[in-house]
Amino acid sequence: MNIKYTLATIILVVVVSACKTPQVAVSSSDPSDHIQFLSSELLAGRSPSTKGDSLSAYYIRDKFISYGLKTLYDDGFQKFPVVTGVYTGKNNRLKVNGLNLVASNDFQAMGFSGNNKVISDVVFSGYGFKIDDDSIKWDDYKNIDVKGKWVLAFRMDPDLDNIQSPFAMYGQDRYKAMIASDMGAAGLLLVNTTEYEKDDILDQLRAMQGISPSSIPVIQVTRKTANHILTPSGFTVDSLEKIITKTRKPKSFKINSLIDGETDIKPNTVNTMNVAALVKGRANPHEYLIVGAHYDHLGMGGPETSSRRRDTIAIHPGADDNASGIAALLKMAKKVSKTPLSRSVIFVAFGAEESGLLGSRYFVEKPPVTISSVKAMINFDMVGRLDTMKSLSIGGTGTALELEGIIDANKNKFGFNIKKNPEGTGPSDHSSFYTRKVPVLFFTTGVHDQYHTPEDKAGLINYEGIDMVVDYSLELITEIANSEKALTFNEVKTTQPNISRRRLKATLGIIPDFSSGQKGVGVDGVRPGGPAHKGGILKGDLIIGINGNSIENIYDYMFRLAKHSQGERIALDIIRDNKTGVILIDL
């Protein structure tokens, strides 16, 4: 920790303590100072809606103002909601044969559970499978009636030691909830086998941003609770586990136990913000370029985040991801403000990128200018680790017909070893703009061992490398902004994203919208030439079923689609413009 950083921190603490509105006083505009501050312990990993998140936003806004930019929205801030987790309401209870059980001790509603009250008897359904695949056939629901009943099932699968197990995709809790609902069950009780979890521990409540809950209550119970439920049958969890593991066959039966249960899971919704400011153009002020980078990170990490040290609760500084991108953004904003370009430039620091590109998605839904007037978007995400080979990756190079030529014409003077990717989609904020038919460029120096860990610290940053990336990208931005003719948008034919791709025998060719908050899977984009494109699926459609089987969320979509192969025809149930319809798709 150097003296300059220490003084900046002292000034920050004094100013914040004296004012209701956070104000950040750090005098230097050098990228090293930006990164030192944003990755400091004081900001504690910049998780959405935390003190560190707010201080980061005010810091960036105040820098924009000091450089002479005009703030947009509400004094530079565009606030939006984020679901940071779930919590249990007052009505979570479970009674077995008249015995009241204790929440968090004997049972726990799962984070994706639907909310309902169910009083019924219960059916044991093994692992809760209903599989008719080329590699395996297994039906735990054959010859049993679960309609309107509770179902008790094991978690995971009977082949845990096999990393190539054919059961792999079917062992997930959400899949089992979907199948139980399909079969008419009113609720699902899940229990750990001894093989899966020797210590009979209940999971912590977890939620995934933008994923709708199950259509039925889903409750995890301890083995002690499950054994109490199983008492009338003469079996125990351990004895049933041994039988099924040995025979490799389903074993399902009705249990003469009465379950009275209710679930009450509520989302924890908070506000965070985008930070936006404008440098007005000299000749074409009503045409715009967007230059962006996200400022949020993973906070203290933990199992509910995408930390690669999920068992470690510690500050994830995010020096490279993405304090480095913000440092590049601020340096560029200062340069452009001194020498405005022909077109206007909007500089945006996006919030909640790590939660699913939420900030940029909200921005394009409620932009400060019409999206049609945005001629390009340039995104910086992890540009702080330029290596000795000067390796620089640029995504989106095929999203406008002119981009390849502009990049090649400027690369030699900087000596970068450039890897170009034509695709406009990807795991960062430019993707939100590409799906709105805006040409994009995405700059990154790549992933490293410290990515999404507590070790992503300021001491590992290549500050000279950031300066080089800024200087080079500014050459490209200047040419794009000053060109008499705007870029010509081009849709790039791409492949299905890596989301469990190894399990899919066919792909639909859509970009899912993870932030829609609706039941179903929103379509954020359609890949040219893919099955969805040929079948007439449009951006904005909401897929709610495949072949009449309902889809509540992205997990349901994956599981439903995994049952189909290339060459098959499927019927998609969709909602478009508030009207329900069916579209036939040839995979």
Three-class DSSP labels, 156-185:
CCCCCCCCCCCCHHHHCHHHHHHHHHHCCC
Handedness of CA 31, 36, 42, 47 (dihedral sign): positive
Torsion of CA 267, 94, 183, 234, to 10 degrees: 150
Query: Which of 232, 129, 149 lies closest to 189 in space, CA to CA?
Result: 149
Which residues are 523's β-sheet partners? Answer: 512
Quote the pLDDT of residue 514. 61
Instruction: Report the C-alpha gap between 112 and 209 in whole angstroms.
Output: 11
Q: Which helix (H) or strand (E) holds 118?
A: strand 117-125
Instruction: Report the C-alpha gap between 239 and 41 in whole angstroms.
Output: 51
Task: Give the burial string for 1-21 (b: 16+ CB within 10 Å, else e).
Answer: eeeebeebbeebeeebeeeee
Q: Which two tokens stand for residue 580?
A: 């329900």
Which residues are 582's β-sheet partners? Answer: 573
Quote the pLDDT of residue 211. 60
Residue 231, CB-side half-sphere exposure with 13 Å CA sphere: 8
Max distance between CA atoms of the chain, in angstroms, equals 83
Sheet of 99-100: strand order equals 99-100, 93-96, 252-262, 117-125, 150-154, 187-191, 218-221, 107-109
Residues 6+ apart with CB under 8 A from 273: 57, 77, 78, 79, 80, 351, 359
Query: Which of 194, 189, 198 lies closest to 238 in space, CA to CA?
Result: 194
CB 477 within 8 A of CB 289: yes
| E strands, 309-404, in order | 343-350, 374-380, 391-395
Quote the pLDDT of residue 285. 98
CB 345 within 8 A of CB 289: yes
Instruction: Report the C-alpha gap between 213 and 25 in whole angstroms.
Output: 43
Query: Which of 229, 266, 264, 263 lies closest to 118 in space, CA to CA?
Result: 263
Instruction: Report the C-alpha gap between 489 and 95 in whole angstroms.
Output: 60
* Phi, psi of 300, rounded to the nearest 5 degrees: -90, 5
Q: Which two tokens stand for residue 290?
A: 């967007």
Following DSSP, what letter does each residue of 437-461 receive, concatenated? T--EEEEE----TTTTSTT--GGG-
Instruction: Report the C-alpha gap between 556 and 545 in whole angstroms.
Output: 9
Neighbouring C-beta atoms of residue 265, cutoff 10 Å: 23
Quote the pLDDT of residue 426. 86
Following DSSP, what letter does each residue of 535-561 receive, concatenated? HT--TT-EEEEETTEE--SHHHHHHHH
Q: Which helix (H) or strand (E) holds 122?
A: strand 117-125
CB 276 within 8 A of CB 73: yes
* Phi, psi of 255, rounded to the nearest 5 degrees: -115, 135
CB 190 within 8 A of CB 216: no
Task: Give the burial string for 459-491 (b: 16+ CB within 10 Å, else e).
Answer: eebbbebbbbbbebbbbbbbbbbeeeebbebbb
| Residue showing tokens 């054994």 | 227
How long a stretch of residues is the chain?
587
Quote the pLDDT of residue 311. 82
Quote the pLDDT of residue 400. 98
Q: What are the CA-CA distances from residue 528 to residues 505, 507, 509, 542, 585 (Å)?
A: 19, 13, 8, 18, 14
Following DSSP, what letter does each residue of 5-36 receive, concatenated? HHHHHHHHHHHHHH-SS---------HHHHHH
CB 151 within 8 A of CB 122: yes
Predicted TM-score (pTM) of this structure: 0.78
CB 326 within 8 A of CB 379: no
Q: Which two tokens stand for residue 310?
A: 């999920």
Q: What are the CA-CA distances from residue 562 to residues 133, 499, 504, 580, 587 (Å)?
A: 9, 12, 5, 24, 12
Quote the pLDDT of residue 561. 87
pLDDT tens-place values along the chain, 587 residues long: 233 333 333 334 334 433 344 554 444 558 899 999 999 999 999 999 999 999 999 999 999 999 999 999 999 999 999 988 889 999 999 999 999 999 999 999 999 999 999 999 999 999 999 998 878 999 999 999 999 999 999 999 999 887 678 887 899 899 999 999 999 999 999 999 999 999 899 998 876 555 668 999 999 999 999 999 999 999 999 999 999 999 999 999 999 999 999 999 998 889 999 999 999 999 999 999 999 999 999 999 987 788 888 789 999 999 999 999 999 999 999 999 999 999 999 999 999 999 889 999 999 999 999 999 999 999 999 999 999 999 999 999 999 999 999 998 887 788 999 999 999 988 899 999 999 999 999 999 998 889 999 999 999 999 999 999 999 999 999 999 999 999 999 999 765 444 333 345 678 988 887 655 678 898 988 888 889 998 899 988 999 999 888 898 887 888 888 878 777 888 899 999 999 988 989 88
